[in-house]
Structure 1
Amino acid sequence: MDLKEQLNNYIPFNHQEAQDKRIILSCLEDYPQIFFRENLLAHMTASAWVVNRNKDKVLLAYHNLYDSWSWLGGHADGEENLLNVALREVSEESGLQRLTPVLEDIYSLEVLTVDGHMKRGAYISSHLHLNITYLIEADETASLSIKPDENSGVKWFALDDAVAASTERWFQENVYKKLNEKLEILGK
Protein backbone atom coordinates (compact mmCIF):
# COMPACT_ATOMS: atom_id res chain seq x y z
CA MET A 1 0.00 0.00 0.00
CA ASP A 2 1.51 3.38 -0.95
CA LEU A 3 1.75 6.30 1.45
CA LYS A 4 -1.26 8.19 0.04
CA GLU A 5 -3.43 5.12 0.52
CA GLN A 6 -2.08 4.60 4.06
CA LEU A 7 -2.81 8.24 4.89
CA ASN A 8 -6.31 8.09 3.42
CA ASN A 9 -7.02 5.03 5.59
CA TYR A 10 -5.48 6.59 8.71
CA ILE A 11 -7.95 7.73 11.38
CA PRO A 12 -6.56 10.83 13.13
CA PHE A 13 -6.21 10.63 16.90
CA ASN A 14 -6.93 14.32 17.52
CA HIS A 15 -7.40 17.71 15.82
CA GLN A 16 -3.65 18.14 15.31
CA GLU A 17 -3.46 14.89 13.38
CA ALA A 18 -6.59 15.71 11.34
CA GLN A 19 -5.15 19.04 10.23
CA ASP A 20 -1.67 17.64 9.65
CA LYS A 21 -3.07 14.73 7.62
CA ARG A 22 -4.71 17.24 5.27
CA ILE A 23 -1.46 19.18 4.89
CA ILE A 24 0.66 16.07 4.26
CA LEU A 25 -1.79 14.74 1.65
CA SER A 26 -1.87 18.14 -0.05
CA CYS A 27 1.94 18.35 -0.14
CA LEU A 28 2.23 14.81 -1.51
CA GLU A 29 -0.09 15.86 -4.32
CA ASP A 30 1.26 19.34 -5.03
CA TYR A 31 5.00 19.36 -4.42
CA PRO A 32 7.59 17.60 -6.55
CA GLN A 33 10.53 15.88 -4.90
CA ILE A 34 8.68 15.73 -1.55
CA PHE A 35 10.70 12.64 -0.54
CA PHE A 36 13.97 14.55 -1.03
CA ARG A 37 15.64 17.31 1.00
CA GLU A 38 16.02 19.20 -2.27
CA ASN A 39 12.43 20.33 -1.73
CA LEU A 40 13.44 23.25 0.46
CA LEU A 41 9.95 24.13 1.70
CA ALA A 42 8.91 20.71 3.05
CA HIS A 43 10.00 17.09 2.84
CA MET A 44 8.99 13.69 4.17
CA THR A 45 10.55 12.31 7.32
CA ALA A 46 9.92 9.26 9.48
CA SER A 47 10.24 8.89 13.23
CA ALA A 48 9.95 5.99 15.63
CA TRP A 49 8.52 5.71 19.10
CA VAL A 50 10.79 2.84 20.16
CA VAL A 51 9.42 0.85 23.10
CA ASN A 52 10.65 -2.15 25.05
CA ARG A 53 8.78 -5.46 25.08
CA ASN A 54 6.68 -4.45 28.14
CA LYS A 55 5.90 -1.10 26.49
CA ASP A 56 6.76 0.73 29.70
CA LYS A 57 9.98 2.34 28.42
CA VAL A 58 10.90 4.36 25.37
CA LEU A 59 14.28 4.90 23.71
CA LEU A 60 15.43 8.48 23.19
CA ALA A 61 18.57 10.03 21.72
CA TYR A 62 20.18 13.24 22.91
CA HIS A 63 19.90 15.26 19.70
CA ASN A 64 22.89 17.62 19.40
CA LEU A 65 21.19 20.12 17.06
CA TYR A 66 18.20 20.65 19.38
CA ASP A 67 20.10 20.14 22.64
CA SER A 68 17.33 17.84 23.84
CA TRP A 69 16.35 14.23 24.33
CA SER A 70 14.09 13.23 21.47
CA TRP A 71 12.66 10.36 19.45
CA LEU A 72 14.69 8.77 16.68
CA GLY A 73 14.10 9.39 13.00
CA GLY A 74 15.20 11.21 9.90
CA HIS A 75 14.77 12.17 6.27
CA ALA A 76 13.27 9.91 3.61
CA ASP A 77 16.06 10.81 1.16
CA GLY A 78 14.13 9.32 -1.75
CA GLU A 79 12.79 6.24 0.06
CA GLU A 80 8.99 6.16 -0.16
CA ASN A 81 8.55 3.29 2.32
CA LEU A 82 8.68 5.38 5.49
CA LEU A 83 8.59 2.36 7.80
CA ASN A 84 11.92 1.35 6.25
CA VAL A 85 13.20 4.89 6.83
CA ALA A 86 12.19 4.74 10.51
CA LEU A 87 13.87 1.34 10.97
CA ARG A 88 17.05 2.56 9.23
CA GLU A 89 17.20 5.71 11.32
CA VAL A 90 16.72 3.84 14.61
CA SER A 91 19.58 1.50 13.70
CA GLU A 92 21.85 4.37 12.63
CA GLU A 93 21.11 6.53 15.67
CA SER A 94 21.10 3.83 18.37
CA GLY A 95 23.16 0.92 17.07
CA LEU A 96 20.20 -1.44 17.55
CA GLN A 97 19.87 -4.08 14.86
CA ARG A 98 16.93 -6.22 15.98
CA LEU A 99 13.86 -4.06 15.59
CA THR A 100 10.25 -5.16 15.28
CA PRO A 101 7.41 -2.95 14.09
CA VAL A 102 4.59 -3.25 16.63
CA LEU A 103 2.29 -2.06 13.85
CA GLU A 104 2.98 -1.98 10.13
CA ASP A 105 0.59 0.96 9.86
CA ILE A 106 1.14 4.62 10.66
CA TYR A 107 1.22 5.16 14.43
CA SER A 108 1.10 8.95 14.37
CA LEU A 109 1.67 11.89 12.06
CA GLU A 110 2.89 15.43 12.51
CA VAL A 111 3.85 18.50 10.52
CA LEU A 112 6.96 19.77 12.30
CA THR A 113 8.65 23.13 11.95
CA VAL A 114 12.42 23.15 11.68
CA ASP A 115 14.17 26.43 12.42
CA GLY A 116 17.05 27.55 10.22
CA HIS A 117 20.39 26.14 11.38
CA MET A 118 23.94 25.32 10.36
CA LYS A 119 24.72 21.76 9.31
CA ARG A 120 28.15 20.60 8.13
CA GLY A 121 29.17 24.21 7.52
CA ALA A 122 26.12 25.14 5.41
CA TYR A 123 23.04 27.12 6.37
CA ILE A 124 19.76 25.20 6.15
CA SER A 125 16.71 27.49 5.89
CA SER A 126 13.63 27.01 8.06
CA HIS A 127 11.31 24.39 6.58
CA LEU A 128 8.69 21.73 7.40
CA HIS A 129 9.11 18.04 8.12
CA LEU A 130 6.06 16.08 7.00
CA ASN A 131 6.55 13.34 9.55
CA ILE A 132 5.10 9.84 9.81
CA THR A 133 5.72 8.03 13.10
CA TYR A 134 5.90 4.27 13.58
CA LEU A 135 5.73 2.20 16.77
CA ILE A 136 8.78 -0.06 16.98
CA GLU A 137 9.84 -2.56 19.62
CA ALA A 138 13.44 -3.24 20.63
CA ASP A 139 15.28 -5.22 23.29
CA GLU A 140 16.14 -2.85 26.11
CA THR A 141 19.08 -5.05 27.14
CA ALA A 142 20.77 -4.79 23.73
CA SER A 143 23.90 -2.70 23.46
CA LEU A 144 23.42 0.94 22.37
CA SER A 145 25.75 3.30 20.55
CA ILE A 146 25.63 6.95 19.55
CA LYS A 147 25.89 8.55 16.12
CA PRO A 148 28.38 11.33 16.97
CA ASP A 149 27.41 13.64 14.11
CA GLU A 150 23.79 13.65 15.34
CA ASN A 151 23.52 12.59 18.97
CA SER A 152 25.60 12.38 22.11
CA GLY A 153 23.52 9.89 24.07
CA VAL A 154 20.99 7.07 23.66
CA LYS A 155 19.00 5.92 26.65
CA TRP A 156 15.83 4.13 27.77
CA PHE A 157 13.33 6.18 29.80
CA ALA A 158 10.12 5.34 31.64
CA LEU A 159 7.24 6.73 29.54
CA ASP A 160 6.53 9.81 31.69
CA ASP A 161 10.25 10.45 32.18
CA ALA A 162 10.71 10.46 28.39
CA VAL A 163 8.26 13.35 28.08
CA ALA A 164 9.98 15.24 30.91
CA ALA A 165 13.46 14.61 29.46
CA SER A 166 12.70 16.67 26.37
CA THR A 167 13.47 20.39 26.62
CA GLU A 168 11.26 21.10 23.61
CA ARG A 169 7.94 22.16 25.14
CA TRP A 170 5.89 21.78 21.94
CA PHE A 171 7.13 18.20 21.52
CA GLN A 172 6.42 17.42 25.18
CA GLU A 173 2.84 18.65 25.03
CA ASN A 174 1.83 17.82 21.46
CA VAL A 175 3.87 14.82 20.38
CA TYR A 176 5.39 12.74 23.16
CA LYS A 177 2.35 12.87 25.47
CA LYS A 178 0.16 11.91 22.51
CA LEU A 179 2.41 8.97 21.63
CA ASN A 180 2.21 7.70 25.20
CA GLU A 181 -1.59 8.16 25.29
CA LYS A 182 -1.89 6.13 22.11
CA LEU A 183 0.35 3.45 23.60
CA GLU A 184 -1.91 3.23 26.64
CA ILE A 185 -4.98 2.82 24.42
CA LEU A 186 -3.19 0.19 22.32
CA GLY A 187 -2.47 -1.82 25.48
CA LYS A 188 -6.13 -2.03 26.44
Structure 2
Amino acid sequence: MGYLALLEQFQPCCEQEEGDKRVILDYCRTFPQNILTRENEFAHLTSSGLVLNPSLTRVLMVYHNIYHSWSWTGGHCDGDPDFLAVALREAQEETGLARVQPLAGELMGLDILPVPGHVKRGRYVPAHMHLSAAFVLVAPEGQAVREKPDENSGVRWFDTGELSRICEEPEMVPVYEKIIRRARRWRQQNS
Protein backbone atom coordinates (compact mmCIF):
# COMPACT_ATOMS: atom_id res chain seq x y z
CA MET A 1 0.00 0.00 0.00
CA GLY A 2 1.32 3.43 -0.86
CA TYR A 3 1.88 6.07 1.77
CA LEU A 4 -1.02 8.24 0.53
CA ALA A 5 -3.41 5.31 0.83
CA LEU A 6 -2.16 4.63 4.36
CA LEU A 7 -2.77 8.26 5.30
CA GLU A 8 -6.20 8.26 3.64
CA GLN A 9 -7.25 5.10 5.53
CA PHE A 10 -6.30 6.57 8.91
CA GLN A 11 -9.39 7.01 11.10
CA PRO A 12 -9.05 10.17 13.22
CA CYS A 13 -10.11 9.90 16.85
CA CYS A 14 -10.54 13.63 17.49
CA GLU A 15 -10.90 17.03 15.87
CA GLN A 16 -7.12 17.61 16.01
CA GLU A 17 -6.43 14.46 13.99
CA GLU A 18 -9.21 15.29 11.50
CA GLY A 19 -7.65 18.68 10.82
CA ASP A 20 -4.08 17.38 10.75
CA LYS A 21 -5.06 14.56 8.37
CA ARG A 22 -6.69 17.03 5.96
CA VAL A 23 -3.71 19.41 6.04
CA ILE A 24 -1.16 16.59 5.70
CA LEU A 25 -2.96 15.04 2.71
CA ASP A 26 -3.29 18.45 1.03
CA TYR A 27 0.42 19.14 1.57
CA CYS A 28 1.41 15.69 0.28
CA ARG A 29 -0.61 16.24 -2.89
CA THR A 30 0.88 19.72 -3.35
CA PHE A 31 4.51 18.59 -2.92
CA PRO A 32 4.64 14.96 -4.10
CA GLN A 33 8.15 15.41 -5.51
CA ASN A 34 9.84 16.00 -2.14
CA ILE A 35 7.39 15.40 0.71
CA LEU A 36 9.30 12.26 1.72
CA THR A 37 12.63 14.06 1.97
CA ARG A 38 14.22 16.86 3.92
CA GLU A 39 14.52 18.76 0.63
CA ASN A 40 11.09 20.08 1.54
CA GLU A 41 12.47 22.36 4.21
CA PHE A 42 9.15 23.68 5.50
CA ALA A 43 7.42 20.33 6.16
CA HIS A 44 8.13 16.68 5.44
CA LEU A 45 6.83 13.27 6.40
CA THR A 46 8.32 11.43 9.35
CA SER A 47 7.53 8.08 10.89
CA SER A 48 7.71 7.37 14.61
CA GLY A 49 7.22 4.36 16.83
CA LEU A 50 5.96 4.47 20.38
CA VAL A 51 7.60 1.34 21.79
CA LEU A 52 5.48 -0.39 24.43
CA ASN A 53 5.90 -3.63 26.34
CA PRO A 54 3.51 -6.50 25.46
CA SER A 55 1.05 -5.53 28.23
CA LEU A 56 1.03 -1.89 26.98
CA THR A 57 1.85 -0.62 30.47
CA ARG A 58 5.45 0.52 29.94
CA VAL A 59 7.05 2.65 27.27
CA LEU A 60 10.65 2.65 26.03
CA MET A 61 11.88 6.21 25.60
CA VAL A 62 15.13 7.76 24.38
CA TYR A 63 16.63 10.94 25.82
CA HIS A 64 16.72 13.11 22.70
CA ASN A 65 19.84 15.26 22.37
CA ILE A 66 18.13 18.09 20.46
CA TYR A 67 14.91 18.32 22.49
CA HIS A 68 16.54 17.53 25.85
CA SER A 69 13.61 15.33 26.74
CA TRP A 70 12.58 11.70 26.94
CA SER A 71 10.99 11.02 23.58
CA TRP A 72 9.68 8.32 21.26
CA THR A 73 11.78 6.84 18.49
CA GLY A 74 11.43 7.80 14.87
CA GLY A 75 12.75 9.91 12.13
CA HIS A 76 12.75 11.17 8.61
CA CYS A 77 11.51 8.99 5.79
CA ASP A 78 14.44 10.10 3.63
CA GLY A 79 12.63 8.98 0.50
CA ASP A 80 11.27 5.68 1.90
CA PRO A 81 7.48 5.52 1.38
CA ASP A 82 7.13 2.53 3.78
CA PHE A 83 6.31 4.30 7.05
CA LEU A 84 6.23 1.08 9.06
CA ALA A 85 9.68 0.03 7.84
CA VAL A 86 11.01 3.49 8.76
CA ALA A 87 9.47 3.32 12.26
CA LEU A 88 10.89 -0.17 12.89
CA ARG A 89 14.34 0.74 11.55
CA GLU A 90 14.51 3.92 13.64
CA ALA A 91 13.40 2.09 16.80
CA GLN A 92 16.12 -0.51 16.36
CA GLU A 93 18.81 2.05 15.46
CA GLU A 94 17.96 4.40 18.32
CA THR A 95 17.55 1.78 21.07
CA GLY A 96 19.53 -1.28 20.02
CA LEU A 97 16.43 -3.47 20.34
CA ALA A 98 16.85 -6.83 18.64
CA ARG A 99 13.18 -7.82 18.89
CA VAL A 100 10.50 -5.27 18.10
CA GLN A 101 7.34 -5.65 16.05
CA PRO A 102 4.28 -3.58 15.19
CA LEU A 103 1.17 -3.93 17.32
CA ALA A 104 -0.79 -3.45 14.09
CA GLY A 105 0.04 -2.52 10.53
CA GLU A 106 -2.13 0.58 10.77
CA LEU A 107 -1.24 4.08 11.89
CA MET A 108 -1.93 4.84 15.53
CA GLY A 109 -1.34 8.59 15.32
CA LEU A 110 -1.20 11.40 12.80
CA ASP A 111 0.07 14.78 13.94
CA ILE A 112 1.67 17.98 12.69
CA LEU A 113 4.60 18.62 15.03
CA PRO A 114 6.67 21.82 15.09
CA VAL A 115 10.45 21.49 15.14
CA PRO A 116 12.41 24.53 16.40
CA GLY A 117 15.52 25.63 14.57
CA HIS A 118 18.60 23.78 15.80
CA VAL A 119 22.14 22.74 14.94
CA LYS A 120 22.64 19.17 13.75
CA ARG A 121 26.03 17.79 12.76
CA GLY A 122 27.45 21.30 12.77
CA ARG A 123 24.81 22.73 10.42
CA TYR A 124 21.88 24.98 11.28
CA VAL A 125 18.49 23.43 10.46
CA PRO A 126 15.70 26.04 10.16
CA ALA A 127 12.43 25.62 12.06
CA HIS A 128 10.01 23.36 10.18
CA MET A 129 7.13 20.92 10.60
CA HIS A 130 7.15 17.16 10.89
CA LEU A 131 4.09 15.55 9.34
CA SER A 132 4.20 12.64 11.75
CA ALA A 133 2.79 9.20 11.02
CA ALA A 134 3.06 7.06 14.15
CA PHE A 135 2.87 3.36 14.95
CA VAL A 136 2.78 1.42 18.18
CA LEU A 137 5.68 -1.01 18.33
CA VAL A 138 5.88 -3.83 20.86
CA ALA A 139 9.09 -5.13 22.41
CA PRO A 140 9.70 -7.40 25.38
CA GLU A 141 11.40 -5.74 28.32
CA GLY A 142 14.71 -7.22 29.44
CA GLN A 143 16.39 -6.91 26.06
CA ALA A 144 19.70 -5.16 25.92
CA VAL A 145 19.36 -1.52 24.88
CA ARG A 146 21.98 1.06 24.01
CA GLU A 147 22.23 4.73 23.24
CA LYS A 148 22.81 6.19 19.79
CA PRO A 149 25.19 9.01 20.82
CA ASP A 150 24.62 11.16 17.74
CA GLU A 151 20.88 11.26 18.55
CA ASN A 152 20.24 10.31 22.17
CA SER A 153 21.97 10.02 25.51
CA GLY A 154 19.72 7.51 27.24
CA VAL A 155 17.32 4.62 26.61
CA ARG A 156 14.99 3.56 29.38
CA TRP A 157 11.64 1.93 30.17
CA PHE A 158 9.02 3.97 32.07
CA ASP A 159 5.50 3.28 33.29
CA THR A 160 3.06 4.90 30.86
CA GLY A 161 1.66 6.99 33.73
CA GLU A 162 5.04 8.72 34.12
CA LEU A 163 5.00 10.52 30.77
CA SER A 164 3.92 13.90 32.12
CA ARG A 165 6.71 13.75 34.70
CA ILE A 166 9.58 12.71 32.41
CA CYS A 167 8.74 14.54 29.20
CA GLU A 168 10.20 18.06 28.94
CA GLU A 169 8.07 18.69 25.85
CA PRO A 170 4.64 19.12 27.45
CA GLU A 171 2.98 19.37 24.03
CA MET A 172 4.06 15.78 23.28
CA VAL A 173 2.43 14.20 26.35
CA PRO A 174 -1.12 14.34 24.87
CA VAL A 175 0.25 12.86 21.62
CA TYR A 176 1.78 9.90 23.46
CA GLU A 177 -1.27 9.41 25.70
CA LYS A 178 -3.63 9.49 22.69
CA ILE A 179 -1.57 6.81 20.95
CA ILE A 180 -1.47 4.62 24.07
CA ARG A 181 -5.27 4.87 24.44
CA ARG A 182 -5.70 3.92 20.78
CA ALA A 183 -3.33 0.95 21.19
CA ARG A 184 -5.26 -0.32 24.21
CA ARG A 185 -8.59 0.01 22.37
CA TRP A 186 -7.10 -1.78 19.35
CA ARG A 187 -5.87 -4.60 21.61
CA GLN A 188 -9.31 -4.98 23.25
CA GLN A 189 -11.07 -5.09 19.88
CA ASN A 190 -8.59 -7.53 18.34
CA SER A 191 -7.96 -10.04 21.12
- After TM superposition, the structure 1 = structure 2 runs for residues 8-47 of structure 1, keeping only pairs within 5 Å, are 8-31=8-31, 32-47=33-48
Structure 2 partner of 1:177? 177
Structure 2 partner of 1:168? 169
Structure 2 unaligned blocks of 5 or more: none
Distance of 1:164 and 1:145 partners within structure 2 = 23
Q: 8 Å contact 1:163–1:176 — kept in the other structure?
A: no
Question: Does residue 110 of structure 1 match 2:100?
Answer: no
- After TM superposition, the structure 1 = structure 2 runs for residues 10-159 of structure 1, keeping only pairs within 5 Å, are 10-31=10-31, 32-159=33-160
* Residue aligned with 1:146, SS: coil
* Residue aligned with 1:147, SS: coil
Normalised TM-score (structure 2): 0.94
Cα-to-partner distance string for 1:38-96 (whole Å, 9 max, x where unaligned):
11111110010111111111110000100100111000011000100000100110001
Q: 8 Å contact 2:48–2:134 — kept in the other structure?
A: yes
Structure 1 residue ranges (4+ consecutive) displaced by more than 4 angstroms after TM superposition: none
Q: 8 Å contact 1:51–1:135 — kept in the other structure?
A: yes
Give the CA deviation at 1:175. Answer: 0.6
Q: 8 Å contact 2:56–2:180 — kept in the other structure?
A: no
Distance of 1:171 and 1:21 partners within structure 2 = 18
Distance of 2:52 and 2:165 partners within structure 1 = 16
Give the CA deviation at 1:180. Answer: 2.3
Structure 1 unaligned blocks of 5 or more: none
Aligned residue pairs, count: 187
* Residue aligned with 1:59, SS: strand
Give the CA deviation at 1:5. Answer: 1.2
Distance of 2:64 and 2:107 partners within structure 1 = 23
**Alignment RMSD, CA only?**
1.1
Normalised TM-score (structure 1): 0.96
Give the CA deviation at 1:187. Answer: 3.7
Residue type of the alignment partner of 1:16 = Q
Distance of 1:139 and 1:177 partners within structure 2 = 20
Distance of 1:106 and 1:163 partners within structure 2 = 23
Q: 8 Å contact 1:163–1:177 — kept in the other structure?
A: no
